[in-house]
Structure 1
Amino acid sequence: MRRLELSVADPELSVDFFAGVLGWTVIAEPGGSFSGWVGDRLAAQVVAGDAGWRVVFGGAGPRELELNSSVDSGRVLHGPWAPVPRHGEPCWVEVASPEAGYWARELGWVASGGVFSSLRHGDPRVVAGMSSGDGLLGGWGVFFAVDDVAAACGRVSEMDGEVVAPPSSSAAGVVAVVSGPKGGRCAFLERPAGWGGARQGA
């Protein structure tokens, strides 16, 4: 994945919320947008709008895809070939869509057993998940690594966010679903050992 973008009505409030929960360093960008960083890696950009999370995949030929996603050229920042995700960094994406063939064609992936895999660098790696229903996240759901899911959920509540689904076990590990005070529903994954957590063994 090349980058994540969150489009919300109040970018400053939203980036402050996620910075407070996920430990981002925030940089104000031109045009009233913001970027959140973990060390030297961009975690997400936050802009004005109402589209929610937008997933931008790396690839040749910039183009729009379904479900608020796109492809753009440039360095891929997050994924199975990147370093282990740190607290506050994206660590997984999954799509609530029955059209596995569409994503396989558009992104050059192989769909099998509820996940998509890629041979982009020679050895197959799990790059994304899929489900047939809308799920709690809808569209492309994004996950962030956290050191302690329960503690992160406590921080969400303290900062006027919402814990949509409390910590529970999943195929990826211990997860919770949260939302900021102005939207941006996403999931937290506790201490993933790599992209997708336990799903890399799928």
Structure 2
Amino acid sequence: MDFFAGVFGWTVIADPGGSFTGWVGDRLAAQVVAGHGGWRVVFGGDGARELSGGSGVDTGRVLHGPWAPVPRVGEPCWVELMVAEPDDGYWAAELGWETRVESEDFALFLSARHGGPRPVAGRLRTSRSSGWVPYFAVDSVEQTCVRVSELDGRVLVEPLVVPTGLVASVVGPHGGECVVLERPAGWGGTWSAG
């Protein structure tokens, strides 16, 4: 938690039971739960339940996503499912998402839960299958990569431009791979106009 708080500027609050929350102003950015490894993405939906790929569903108010305010620095701003073999039908059945195939290896998941369909997540076919990977908003990808190194983290993928925008993949000294996205205009960066 200290590493990501240092990278993203979170205010950290200790919760009962050994967990911690990271805040950007009055918005919850992440929760670290003792004993859980890696990131766990929670989607809004009907009926709280566990899903595959390190994810679940909660029936509460969705804090981040295509209908939320523009992400601030340090807040989640996109999620992407990294898999070797896509099973888009699973996500359609579980969450009511539509799939829009953008290329042989990439697809967008769209949701019409609160109005017209909007991109809610991406799916990337990759040999390095790792489940759901969160993206966090930053002012400067380059400066964030420097900060990651200063805090003993590693830059796994150097800054590059992808359809979402300017990104880099980073990991903390104790794990927690994520992607940083420079100044997203909305949920999903350039996909927010999608």
Structures share a fold, TM > 0.5? Answer: yes
Given candidates 142, 158, 163, the residue that maps to 2:134 is 142
The within-5 A match list for 1:1-202 is 15-97=1-83, 98-113=86-101, 114-135=107-128, 138-202=130-194
CA RMSD of aligned residues (A): 1.2
CA distance in 2, matches of 1:35, 1:190: 23
Residue of structure 2 equivalent to 1:7: none
Deviation at 1:131? 1.6
Q: Tell me, which stretches of 5 or more residues in structure 2 are unaligned?
A: 102-106
CA distance in 2, matches of 1:25, 1:187: 20
Query: Which stretches of structure 1, 4 residues or longer, exceed 3 Å deviation after superposition?
Result: none
Give the secondary-structure state (helix, strand or coil) at the position aligned to 1:131. strand
Q: For residue 85 of structure 1, what is the amino acid of its counterpart?
A: P
Q: For residue 24 of structure 2, what is the amino acid of its counterpart?
A: V
TM-score scaled by length of structure 2: 0.93
Contact 2:185 2:192 in 1 (8 A): no
TM-score scaled by length of structure 1: 0.89
Q: For residue 111 of structure 2, what is the amino acid of its counterpart?
A: S
Give the secondary-structure state (helix, strand or coil) at the position aligned to 1:43. strand
Q: Tell me, which stretches of 5 or more residues in structure 1 are unaligned?
A: 1-14
Contact 1:51 1:68 in 2 (8 A): no
Q: For residue 130 of structure 1, what is the amino acid of its counterpart?
A: R
Give the secondary-structure state (helix, strand or coil) at the position aligned to 1:84. coil
Number of equivalences: 187
Deviation at 1:51? 2.5
Deviation at 1:132? 2.2
